[in-house]
Amino acid sequence: MKNYLNINNIVAGYHSGFQLKKVNFSIEKGKFAGIIGPNGSGKTTFFKCLTGDLKTLNGSIELNKVDLAKLQIKEKAKKVAVVSQFTEVTDVTVEDYVIMGRMPYRSNFQFFESKEDHEIAEKYMKLTDVFQFKNKAMSELSGGEQQLAAIARALTQEPELLLLDEPTSHLDISHQVQILNLIQLLNDELGLTVLIIIHDLNLASEYCDYLVMMKDGGVHIQGTPSDVLNYQTIEDVYNTVVITRENPVSKKPVVFLVSDRVMKNQ
């Protein structure tokens, strides 16, 4: 289905003066899409608009032709799940943390989780490989394990769209790959539409089907990784000298940095 997630001329901003400038793009159902761009380009501001944490001044965000701003909180939570950059570190157990994702499905006077809630939470704890930690406190887990638990909780909402804000930015490469492989698996096997904010251009290239590159509060370019990640575009947006080549296995672009010392010796 084309134009499943429609971002229609979004304008938003802060008292400081920074504003998004009519952000406009669409993502097809079942795509694994990424938002990239330098610091200050508007990625975080836009993400806050998506989650509803920042009110838009103009424009709309539609999922399958439904304006998300017009949905009640519970109904929106059944359609859209969010994994933030920083996971809540508490003394609650992993199982209790994950099952909180079932809150949108509780009736008004339901105080305890149903058998179905527990079964769904167990299913996604196993899928994300955190079932083994179900009786541990969230505060006892490593950063990578906490992110996996956060993804498990998001999945228990059984959403149509999964939004992730730099879920790998503070992790080592093994955990980065583990989490992105998991998200790719969810995208492939569950048909889950994914939109991720990601800093690392090589990870974005390797895992995403579609990229939106932002600059100065607007969309600079969008398309497949091959469309977006060429040396000229990257240098224009990041003001950094790079070389791009094709990964011989995945055929996706790979970005290589060039230091000033090497440049001076050329």
**What domains does the chain contain, in order, with CATH numbers?**
5-224 (3.40.50.300)
Instruction: Classify residue 265 by burial, with Cβ atoms within 10 Å: 0-12, 13-18, 19+.
Output: exposed
**Tokens read off for 263:** 């440049």
pLDDT tens per residue across span 113-135: 788 899 999 999 999 999 999 99
* % of the chain exceeding 90 in pLDDT: 76
* CB-based contact 7:20 (threshold 8 Å): no
pTM of the model: 0.91
Please state, rounded to an integer, the average pLDDT across all residues of the chain. Answer: 91
Lookup: tokens for 6: 């429609």
pLDDT higher than 70, residue 112: no
Confidence tier at 168 by pLDDT (50, 70, 90)? confident
**pLDDT for 35 beyond 60:** yes
Burial of residue 73 (CB within 10 Å: 0-12, 13-18, 19+) is exposed
Distance CA 223, CA 99 (A): 36
pLDDT at 106: 78
- pLDDT reported for residue 1: 46
Higher pLDDT, 106 or 117: 117
Q: Say if residue 172's pLDDT is above 80.
A: yes
What pLDDT, on the 0 to 100 scale, is given for residue 108?
Answer: 65
pLDDT tens string 199-237: 999 999 999 999 999 999 999 999 999 999 999 999 999
Which pLDDT does position 91 carry in this prediction? Answer: 86
- Highest-confidence segment of 10-24, 61-75, 204-218: 204-218
162-185 average pLDDT score? 92
Q: Among all chains, which residue has been given the structure tokens 């709309």?
A: 60
Helices assigned H by DSSP within the chain:
43-51, 73-79, 94-99, 115-127, 143-156, 173-189, 201-207, 225-228, 231-238, 260-264
